[in-house]
Structure 1
Amino acid sequence: MEHLLEDEKGFFSDMDNSRRIKVLKTIKVKHPDYLNTMKLIQMCHKDYLNEVRVEPLSCIITGDPGLGKTTIFKDYIAQFDETSYSDVDTKRKILWANVPTPVRPNFLMSKLLQQLGDNRFNKGTDQEGRRARLVGYIKDCGIELIMLDEFQHFVNLKNKKPLFHYADWFKLLINETKVPIILFGLDYAHDVLNENEQLKRRYKREYRLKPFAYKTKENVLVFKKVLSQIEKQLPFDEESQIKDHSDIIHFATKGIMDNVMSLIREASILSIYDGDVAVRLKHLYSAFDMDYHMNDGANENPFDSIISEEPQYE
């Protein structure tokens, strides 16, 4: 569903609740980390197309859960992937997968081969043969970029040590495809690269996503702009003035993007069900109270200190 344009505000009161809630699912926030990361991936992609380097430029994007890695992963694919068909072959630009846990190269290769249209994607157990087939398909289909999410699964969860055998398989895949591979994962995904010097040399670009800081005027301004972006996309006829409560929203969410979106979406749903025309502090209060992941069983609700100051609306 396409998001309504800002100048279409005023029509939300005529929508039914289900459509307004669907609008909430379309909200996109292009904050600095989002834009910088998308630009980095595009640089790796364009360098390959323009044959800028002898070896493809690859990068790794890391960060704690909830900071937007998967959103960036999906958005880049949605914006830049393209598939074309002819009588003789199929061409596409981006090959992607989520690394399974526990990681198994054959299973991962099967997922990639299936995406490339190989009817024998799950046939055979010979790892080298399957890799050779995958490399052939990547070249024949004209793949320009490979993207892998959850790369931390190449690390043993029990002892936090990289799975060296699988890391060697991954290195061979890079060497043989000669296509940039963008990795996404939690911070300890770095351990796989750090333990393999040849892999480490191929990942000279890195971006680590962080929660929004809130210590300087510049930090506060950035966070307020994020809240303003969200505000403009909310399905209400009146402004909720969410950015005016940036201090308490940052404290409540710890500056984690997923928490911010979860809090405001849930508060918006509560407001819609109340038949209100904007998000009120009482909705933010209730949204925080109901989200056990966010409040972590906290005894106090941070919105409690200011909710009594909010004007009462009929």
Structure 2
Amino acid sequence: MALLSPENEVNYQKFVDAFVEMPIATTIMADFDRLRYNRKFGGDQQCMLLTGDTGCGKSFLIHEYCRRVNLKTALDTLLILSSRIPSKPTLDSTIIELLKDIGHSFATYRKGKSGDQALTESLIKCLKSTEVELIIINEFQELVEFKSGKALSEIATRLKYISEEAAVPIVLVGMPWSVKIAKEPQWASRLLIRRRLSYFTLSKEPEEFIRFIKGLAIRMPFDEPPKLDDKHTILSLFATSKGQIRTLKHFMNEAVKIALEQNFPTLSNQQLAKTYHLMFPDLPNPFHQSIEQIEGQEVSVTSHYDSGADNEFDAVIPTKYTDLLPLSQLLRQTRKTK
């Protein structure tokens, strides 16, 4: 593998970190801002639920929002407490993780030495003594899946208490079945803002996918931005990603790196085809096929939770995709319906 020059490493890192802001992302960030602003007026704190299937960009959006807020604040000021459910998801371990992320120096020693109430009060005390304006808890589904009844009610009660006592709104982020928490009476009226991130589709909104590709293209570190919005490239990229942002971004990152390694002036079909062969060597390469030959899939049913499953291992139903079909045909069908 060729190594990038120091200059290209810097340019490549900028592209890896590049965030293409789609309309739904703008809306969600405005929601975050509104929650923070409304907090100063007291009263019951509004909270928010953000859901989306794996790889739809939830974590990247949170990271970008925190980055933007941090650019505007002092280095030692924590306005957004962004955390995630730990690997062993319990209510106590989640609170300990929040304490760690807020910088509580004794958080690592509290497990097993403090009761539930002591942990909760420690977190509330820390929140009150800092300038935290918003708590974001990612991968929330890991805390609520396989739970119901009293266990789910306890989670809702404790988080409600923390939000109320510390006067800080909470954003719960996770897979689609995180919506279970919204069925708890204590949270039904608090989660006034509910947003969902989705995969791109060609059958409904191909323009959104094309806009995203164009956004990536103009952020690539080349003197000559590549033209990636021709029909062949768009269909090939959709076949590669199935409309999933994470897969698409990993693919484009690798393609840009290959072009920079070889000192190409821009990204071309040659590097795209090479990247596809590198990542999917056993599959037909859409970048070598004609438009009519390119086949792909798009999501038909998002992943969901089956509360009636016989065991917890069968409870989570993975994302389902359509059968392989010619993507050019799918585009023609889209035009007919508009």
Same fold (TM over 0.5): yes
Structure 2 match to 1:94: 80
What is the CA–CA distance in structure 2 between the aligned matches of 1:27 and 1:92, rounded to whole Å? 23
> In 2 relative to 1, CA 285–117 (structure 1 residues): closer, same or farther, beyond 3 Å?
closer
Alignment of 1:242 with 2:231, yes or no, is no
- Backbone CA RMSD of aligned residues: 2.8
Structure 2 match to 1:32: 23
The equivalences for 1:175-254 within 5 A come to 175-194=164-183, 196-215=184-203, 219-244=205-230, 245-254=233-242
What is the CA–CA distance in structure 1 between the aligned matches of 2:78 and 2:271, rounded to whole Å? 45
Q: 2:126 aligns with which of 137, 145, 155?
A: 137
Which residues of structure 1 form unaligned runs of 5+? Answer: 1-12, 308-314
- Runs of 4+ in structure 1 deviating by more than 6 angstroms, as ranges, are none
Percent identical residues:
20
TM-score (norm 2): 0.74
> In 2 relative to 1, CA 283–57 (structure 1 residues): closer, same or farther, beyond 3 Å?
same
TM-score (norm 1): 0.79
Q: 2:283 aligns with which of 285, 296, 299?
A: 299
3-state DSSP of counterpart to 1:60: strand
Provide Cα deviations, 1:6-41, integer angstroms capped at 9, x if missing partner. xxxxxxx99754344333323221112221211121
How many residues are matched?
280
Maintained 8 Å contact 2:85/2:97: no
Structure 1 match to 2:254: 266
What is the CA–CA distance in structure 2 between the aligned matches of 1:270 and 1:130, rounded to whole Å? 49
Tell me whether 35-44 or 13-22 shows the greater mean CA deviation.
Answer: 13-22
What is the CA–CA distance in structure 2 between the aligned matches of 1:282 and 1:264, rounded to whole Å? 13
Structure 2 match to 1:56: 45
> In 2 relative to 1, CA 112–286 (structure 1 residues): closer, same or farther, beyond 3 Å?
same
Structure 1 match to 2:320: none
Provide Cα deviations, 1:212-247, integer angstroms capped at 9, x if missing partner. 23235xx33332222222111111222321122223
> In 2 relative to 1, CA 144–220 (structure 1 residues): closer, same or farther, beyond 3 Å?
same
Distance apart, 1:111 and its partner CA:
2.8
The amino acid across from 2:278 in the alignment is M
What is the CA–CA distance in structure 2 between the aligned matches of 1:154 and 1:15, rounded to whole Å? 42
What is the CA–CA distance in structure 2 between the aligned matches of 1:214 and 1:39, rounded to whole Å? 27
The equivalences for 1:12-31 within 5 A come to 16-31=7-22
Distance apart, 1:189 and its partner CA:
1.0
Q: 1:284 aligns with which of 269, 272, 294?
A: 272
Maintained 8 Å contact 2:12/2:257: yes
Which residues of structure 2 form unaligned runs of 5+? Answer: 292-338
3-state DSSP of counterpart to 1:148: strand
Maintained 8 Å contact 1:106/1:125: no
What is the CA–CA distance in structure 2 between the aligned matches of 1:62 and 1:306, rounded to whole Å? 37
Distance apart, 1:210 and its partner CA:
0.5
3-state DSSP of counterpart to 1:103: coil
3-state DSSP of counterpart to 2:189: helix
Provide Cα deviations, 1:179-211, integer angstroms capped at 9, x if missing partner. 2101111111111332x1112221121110001
